[in-house]
Amino acid sequence: MVKQAGIAAWLFGIAALVALTLWCGVDAVGQAIASIGWGILLVVMVRSVTVAVAGAGWWLLFPAKMRPQLGTCLFLRFIREAINVLLPVAQVGGDVIGARLLTTYAVPGALAAASVIVDILIQAAAQFLFAALGLLTLTALGADHALARSTAIGLAIAALLLAGFYFAQRRGGQRILQSIVPRLAGDREWRVLGTIDAVYHNLAMIYAARSSLISSSIVHMVGWVIGVAEVWIVFACMGHPIGIGEALVIESLMHAVRGAAFAVPSALGAQEAALVLLCAAFAIPPEQAIALSLVKRAADLALGAPGLLGWQMLEWRRLVPSYHGAPVRASVLPARAPIDPRSRIGRAKG
């Protein structure tokens, strides 16, 4: 049922994207995209940096003695991002799969699950601060007051949701986790991540390391800020340069809308509608706003396709040994009792 709802939301989002593109004019959008030219490669480069920074933020959460290699977290972070933005699943489905894949690198399942849960919370908290910074910038620029008011209301709701997510991890949230996570990832995905009690034990261990939490939060915030360059590059290449403040508002509040539309795969339709409204506040034509969104989705595809390929390679490597037959361990075979030579002699005489 959950998968069917995800596919339905995915198809609805595609329809909304197509409708907005037709409304803006396919030719106008195409010309806006063509004017960006090689700037698309710069956007892909910026995106790769932001995803890598997010992977480093995840890596910092692990206890020093149990921390996997940095390259492992970076690789799996690209896979998490690829699944979240390219497949018809909720925007946290890739995170659960990333936790399961981490267990193939000798990380205990409960620790892998706890690390991803905390990573999602910290990334969302950093995104909240990023959106709040965007709201302050929007107000300072004297833009549409109705837009600022709506944004403030949305941030207030987001703050309540973040607080609820945090306290669910800290106080009696086992039942909530047991009901939600299996529905998002499937029972088979969740079983390898350990029991809920073990996950909560590792959550407590991660939260006890305050310095790691602070470091991870700072790194995630830096990643959000770096993403502002995507908006600035696109409009500069289109011949409609904007200031860093305008780019900050557009990028931060667009991601706030994406976060609110987490149930829609890749926020299809929601991202485009948000960009049209946000860009209108700065007198940017809607076709250029749609072009910005499509360039961002091109970056999703450019990094997501290799990420999906890497995911399948990991799955294949994990499953291949089963095709060749598992090696027989000596401990599985019953040990034979030593034969006393004298017993043979005795039987021979008898």
Judged by DSSP in three states, 248 sits in: helix
Percent of residues, the chain, with pLDDT higher than 70: 80
For residue 145, the model assigns a pLDDT of 76
C-beta of residue 271 within 8 angstroms of C-beta of residue 12: no
More confident residue, 266 or 35: 35
More confident residue, 3 or 260: 260
For residue 199, the model assigns a pLDDT of 84
> In the predicted model, what is the mean pLDDT of residues 69-82?
96
> In the predicted model, what is the mean pLDDT of residues 42-66?
96
Q: Is the pLDDT of residue 346 over 50?
A: no
pLDDT tens digits for range 81-91: 999 988 876 66
- Rg, the chain, Cα only: 25
> In the predicted model, what is the mean pLDDT of residues 13-17?
77
> In the predicted model, what is the mean pLDDT of residues 181-201?
62
CB under 8 Å to 221, separation ≥6 — which residues?
126, 129, 130
Structure tokens at 34: 């063509």
Place of tokens 């997501």: 304
The Cα-based distances of 180 to 81, 163, 173, 175, 283 in angstroms read 20, 17, 11, 9, 42
Structure tokens at 215: 């470091």
C-beta of residue 250 within 8 angstroms of C-beta of residue 222: no
> In the predicted model, what is the mean pLDDT of residues 329-344?
43
Q: How far is the C-alpha of 169 from the C-alpha of 117, rounded, in Å?
A: 9
Q: How far is the C-alpha of 302 from the C-alpha of 237, rounded, in Å?
A: 19
> In the predicted model, what is the mean pLDDT of residues 40-63?
97
Q: What pTM did the predictor assign?
A: 0.81
Q: Is the pLDDT of residue 266 over 50?
A: yes
For residue 170, the model assigns a pLDDT of 67
Question: What does the DSSP assignment read for 74-97?
Answer: HHHHHHHHHHHHHSSS-TTHHHHH
For residue 335, the model assigns a pLDDT of 42
What is the chain's mean pLDDT, rounded?
83
Place of tokens 């290799």: 306
The ranges assigned to domains in the chain are 2-20+36-319
Q: Is the pLDDT of residue 111 over 80?
A: yes
Q: Is the pLDDT of residue 189 over 70?
A: no
The alpha-helical segments, DSSP class H, found in the chain are 2-24, 26-36, 39-59, 70-86, 93-102, 109-140, 145-170, 174-185, 187-191, 196-208, 210-226, 228-237, 244-260, 270-280, 286-324, 341-349
Q: How far is the C-alpha of 202 from the C-alpha of 103, rounded, in Å?
A: 14
CA 313 to mean position of chain CA atoms: 19
Place of tokens 């396709």: 305
For residue 172, the model assigns a pLDDT of 57
Q: At what angle do helices 109-140 and 244-260 cross, to 10 degrees?
A: 130
